[in-house]
Amino acid sequence: MLKIVTVNKNEKFLRQKSEIVTFEQLRTARVQSLIEEMLQHVSEDDGEAGLSAIQIGTPLQIFIFENHSQKNEKPEAIPVINPELKLLGNATEIETEGCVSIPKIFDKVERHKRVSLSYITPSGKKIKKTYSGFTARIIQHEYDHLQGVLFTDKIAKSSGKTHQETKTNRETE
């Protein structure tokens, strides 16, 4: 079972920018095992739609997201290495988000409805795809983790709360 890093004790760690994964690193058993453990964790956890490596103590540019594009099917967990994200269009939506690294906090966050994601697979293949809706939201959330950005940083823009107010509320719970 993976140990999740939380802001309560490790906010500074979670706010660092994750490092690019080299092809040499990608080929190691350590990185391949990390990806497999993350895939298993997201696939088995019904409430978790994504997970970044920094959330489990490894500041590498790796995340897993569930692709919810296929209606009426179980979402597929997809591993992403060294992502490049492009926000598409001006259309956004405000929805409630939460995060396993920020327990018990849920609030509304504005995100783009469509994104283009370029990344490398665990086998080293380059992929570029467009995603929309809930899947685009998950991707943006996990990508933010790799940049040292937490969803609570974005709450102020959509709900009027400041990051400090959210942090203070979190600390008193």
The model's pLDDT over 14-58, given as tens digits with 9 standing for 90+, comes to 999 999 999 999 999 999 999 999 999 998 877 789 999 999 999
Q: Catalytic: which of 37, 142, 165, 173?
A: 142
Is residue 73 part of the annotated active site? The answer reads no
Asked if residue 66 belongs to a domain, the reply is yes
pLDDT digits (tens, 9 = 90+) for 147-158: 999 999 998 555
The domain of 162 spans 7-172
pLDDT over 90 (residue 169): no
Phi, psi values for residue 112, rounded to 5°: -70, 145
Tokens of 151: 């969803």
Asked if residue 98 belongs to a domain, the reply is yes
pLDDT over 60 (residue 106): yes
Domain total in the chain: 1
Angstrom CA distances, 10 to 5, 83, 99, stand at: 7, 24, 14
Q: Which amino acid is it at 154?
A: K
Asked if residue 1 belongs to a domain, the reply is no
If DSSP codes are grouped into helix, strand and coil, which group holds residue 169?
helix
Residues sharing a CB contact under 8 Å with residue 167, sequence separation 6 or more, in sequence order: 152
Asked if residue 109 belongs to a domain, the reply is yes
Whether the Cβ atoms of residue 113 and residue 133 lie closer than 8 Å to each other: yes
Domain harbouring 42, CATH code:
3.90.45.10
Whether the Cβ atoms of residue 17 and residue 42 lie closer than 8 Å to each other: no
pLDDT of residue 161: 54
Asked if residue 2 belongs to a domain, the reply is no
Tokens of 40: 């298993």
Q: Which amino acid is it at 122?
A: P
* CA torsion, ordered 132, 51, 15, 83, to nearest 10 deg: -50
Whether the Cβ atoms of residue 166 and residue 152 lie closer than 8 Å to each other: yes
pLDDT over 70 (residue 160): no
